[in-house]
Structure 1
């Protein structure tokens, strides 16, 4: 199976380079960008300085003063931003993402909370690390949860609201299970990793879908983007227009087509965030995940053990690929499930698909009741 998958990668890489090469040869700016990569002796057109610049561009719409720093946790650095005032709210992003993707939510939420947004270790501008001794889902989970705990200790957070999206929702749940005394309320935004794979699932899956699940498994597209080297940003414009379009209303001046003289900030930030090496965050996620998007240790079997002192709210996109059925099931089993909310007109990225309803849902989940107009949140 994997030999076939890598064969497809090789063909895709060749086809993509052939498709992109004329633009690099005949467009002066693109040709210069490519030549700079060769002169600097690097295949990936990225650096820590360029990554930092892309983060600042991503956060340009945020008007609240931001304090950015790297919090030292043992031998690692956790990229952290802090803003606002009030009860602490810690925001944990999903797979392949980074703290800058909360840009549409920070200003509003910082009116009510002291907002902390972090880059999960192994993603964004946080440290990459040696994964040699991490070989099982349990070890990966424990490693990330321990890092999160040590981060809260370094920052001085004893009790806080915790908001996690996708993989961040999984890690936030695992953290709450182990350290309930730290968490006042848990808000799970289209959280990954709850549903359990049915025993007969693979019997009802076609060979084509089995093959496709290998090709589009989350670590694979990011790995492929790095293989494209200087063509990598062009890859984002071709395959992730959905992501660029979600943020286009925030930065309408950004081109939706590749322009190295004025790159789209979302594409640029996504590229720099996912071309840092080693890809340790992706490796840990590959341990947590099984085929077809299921978790190796699904949380549906463990979430009911969350301490009753923690209020839990589940948010789902109305059009998400995440299994929404886990919400009502957990609500029946857990007395501390405060609410299960469907964010209308949203897919998986509910924080940007419906900014107004998402922000309001977060307020309600943590005890606030606010009826601010949508215009104030977009």
Structure 2
């Protein structure tokens, strides 16, 4: 089990009092609903505390900090390097791996992967704009504009961190955004890795599915029904003090995925605190989606815009509710361009947590092919 330890030597120093106050103090209007945030047992401070317990499991060197964008939005970022590397200069010269989480997630969910994947190269992971501990700005209701806001923030983050080229890995919603980013900024991506990506399948003009998918799990159906009327995670906030229990009830699988690391509800508490804050990124997601499972601008319609010279690997969980036939269709569309579709056995949608060893082997093999 992971033990909460002093991370002052590996984590970023605490912000000054003014910055911490800005980070943790909830923002709401003085309207009739001013009581609403206090009814929810969450805050940025509680999210920070829960995340710190998760990050204490990391044994390599970790630099955790906010990266400030030109418009003053902040992206919460982890940079992990191998403190036992025999040749740190050689590690630093290798193309870094950049990891983008999925909908409702955050950097803490990569806890099974960060140490292993940083063995031979630098790994960056960040909370998408509007999610986790990153800034939560307003997102437009137009699908193209919302997507562009996400992509602009990723490119500005890249510039601020000083990454010239990267191996870009995205999971679920992060996979959709990673593909969009690679289309717009192909010179910055040495290899694109999409892990159970959302938003690829399309429907024909009659509204039928072009790509079939397995039966959705109950929690997906619940959220899908909410998406039509409210922001996707509104039910968690509306539940108030019952919110944490709601996450445990609908996502008991998450606790089991990390049970060898945490005996308690650390992971489900982390998911709750990530998603019980004021909605932002999920507003952008709602703008981009028709329902939970479908994008207004399906990536299958645009994947041909990736340059043929860019290698692409798509990793799917063999038991995922996402259908890997989308990956097969991508391979057909790209023709002779390098495109590999790989199924990870004994894994569901959260491949990185279900089969971390197989996930590590697959990603490491790709990284080694880059340099």
TM superposition score normalised by structure 1: 0.78
Q: Distance in 1 between matches of 2:171 and 2:36?
A: 37
Change (3 A) 1:321 1:40: closer
| Aligned residues of 1:43 and 1:230 also touching (Cα < 8 A) | yes
Q: Distance in 2 between matches of 1:304 and 1:197?
A: 17
For the pair 1:215 / 2:211, whether they are aligned, the reply is no
Q: Where do 4+ consecutive residues of structure 1 move more than 4 Å?
A: 201-204, 211-214, 216-221
Q: How many residues were matched structurally?
A: 314
For the pair 1:83 / 2:80, whether they are aligned, the reply is yes
Q: Distance in 2 between matches of 1:68 and 1:293?
A: 33
1:1-378 correspondence to structure 2 within 5 Å: 42-73=38-69, 74-84=71-81, 85=91, 86-131=94-139, 134-201=140-207, 214-215=224-225, 217=227, 222-251=233-262, 253-254=263-264, 264-277=265-278, 279-291=279-291, 293-334=293-334, 335-368=336-369
Q: Distance in 2 between matches of 1:327 and 1:310?
A: 16
SS in 2 for 1:161: strand
Change (3 A) 1:152 1:214: closer
Unaligned runs of 5+ in 2: 1-34, 82-90, 213-217
- Cα shift at 1:366: 2.6
- Cα shift at 1:87: 2.3
SS in 1 for 2:39: coil
Change (3 A) 1:173 1:46: same
Q: Distance in 1 between matches of 2:223 and 2:62?
A: 40
Equivalent residue number for residue 4 of structure 1: none
| Aligned residues of 1:80 and 1:116 also touching (Cα < 8 A) | yes
Unaligned runs of 5+ in 1: 1-38, 255-263, 370-378
Change (3 A) 1:72 1:150: same
Q: Deviations over 1:219-267 (max 9, x none)?
A: 756211111112211111222111211111232x22xxxxxxxxx1101
Q: Distance in 1 between matches of 2:306 and 2:126?
A: 23
Q: Distance in 1 between matches of 2:245 and 2:354?
A: 24
Q: Distance in 2 between matches of 1:87 and 1:214?
A: 38
Change (3 A) 1:161 1:343: same
Q: Distance in 1 between matches of 2:142 and 2:37?
A: 35
More helix by proportion, 1 or 2? 1
SS in 2 for 1:287: helix
Q: Distance in 2 between matches of 1:214 and 1:148?
A: 27
Q: Distance in 2 between matches of 1:158 and 1:349?
A: 29
Q: What root-mean-square deviation, in Å, do the aligned CA atoms of Structure 1 and Structure 2 show?
A: 2.5
- Cα shift at 1:280: 0.9
SS in 1 for 2:295: coil
Q: Distance in 2 between matches of 1:221 and 1:130?
A: 16
Q: Distance in 2 between matches of 1:186 and 1:248?
A: 31
SS in 2 for 1:107: helix
- Cα shift at 1:197: 1.9
- Cα shift at 1:272: 0.9
Q: Distance in 2 between matches of 1:89 and 1:56?
A: 22
Q: Distance in 2 between matches of 1:197 and 1:229?
A: 37
Q: Distance in 1 between matches of 2:352 and 2:131?
A: 19
Q: Distance in 2 between matches of 1:67 and 1:350?
A: 25
- Cα shift at 1:292: 5.6
Change (3 A) 1:221 1:353: same
Change (3 A) 1:332 1:214: closer
Q: Distance in 2 between matches of 1:40 and 1:296?
A: 32
- Cα shift at 1:43: 0.9
Q: Distance in 2 between matches of 1:360 and 1:214?
A: 33
Q: Distance in 1 between matches of 2:191 and 2:270?
A: 30
